[in-house]
């Protein structure tokens, strides 16, 4: 299977960005670990990071016909981007939402995910492991769909 991993705004600064909340792993560290995990499950990963809502939407659209699943950390867009939510529901590709931090244990404004209702599910609070759990959940979901 082919899976696209989408990292939203400010995640390019991982490792140096509020390490007490987001940990010290960099985005490259995360992508490297995911690639390894993907190899173990015979899935090929493509990575994309953007700080721009429209570029994330374009990347979701361009997954049509190429990717079988989407693993996405929409960053702050999680909480208010109806456009990213609409893009995810516009494409016939299952998406799993992940967050490094537990968005339900932080500020009130982070508790709402406008993306969650159109995702297969959400994994939040396990640091870099959220991505690994999310990938495994997505792979399992795709297998159950026979893809």
Question: Are residues 46 and 3 in contact, defined by beta-carbon separation less than 8 angstroms?
Answer: yes
Query: Hey, which residues are catalytic here?
Result: 22, 99
Question: Are residues 14 and 30 in contact, defined by beta-carbon separation less than 8 angstroms?
Answer: yes
Nearest to 14 by CA among 130, 128, 106: 128
State the minimum distance, in angstroms, from the CB of residue 138 to ligand DQA.
16
State the minimum distance, in angstroms, from the CB of residue 103 to ligand DQA.
5
Between the CA atoms of 63, 132, 137 and 96, what dihedral angle is there, to the nearest 10 degrees?
-40
Question: Are residues 99 and 76 in contact, defined by beta-carbon separation less than 8 angstroms?
Answer: no
Question: Contact residues for ligand DQA (CB under 6 A)?
Answer: 10, 73, 75-76, 78, 99-101, 103, 110
State the minimum distance, in angstroms, from the CB of residue 6 to ligand DQA.
12
> Is 86 labelled a binding residue?
yes
Question: Are residues 114 and 82 in contact, defined by beta-carbon separation less than 8 angstroms?
Answer: yes
> Is 45 labelled a binding residue?
no
Smaller CB separation from ligand DQA, 31 or 101: 101
> Is 100 labelled a binding residue?
yes
Smaller CB separation from ligand DQA, 32 or 147: 32
Q: Round to whole Å and give the CA distance between 101 and 82.
A: 21
> Is 29 labelled a binding residue?
no
| Binding residue numbers for substrate | 73, 79, 86, 100-101, 110
| Binding residue numbers | 73, 79, 86, 100-101, 110
């Amino acid at each position: 299977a082919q899976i696209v991993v989408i990292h939203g705004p400010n995640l390019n600064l991982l490792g140096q960005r509020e390490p007490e909340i987001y940990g010290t792993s960099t985005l490259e560290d995360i992508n490297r670990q995911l690639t390894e995990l993907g190899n173990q499950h015979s899935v090929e990963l493509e990575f994309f990071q953007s700080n721009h809502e429209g570029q994330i939407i374009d990347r979701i659209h361009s997954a049509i016909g190429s990717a079988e699943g989407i693993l996405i950390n929409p960053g702050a867009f999680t909480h208010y981007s109806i456009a990213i939510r609409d893009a995810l529901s516009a494409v016939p590709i299952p998406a799993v939402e992940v967050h490094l931090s537990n968005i339900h244990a932080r500020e009130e404004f982070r508790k709402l995910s406008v993306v969650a209702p159109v995702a297969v599910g959400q994994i939040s609070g396990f640091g870099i492991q959220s991505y690994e759990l999310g990938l495994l959940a997505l792979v399992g979901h795709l297998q159950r769909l026979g893809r």
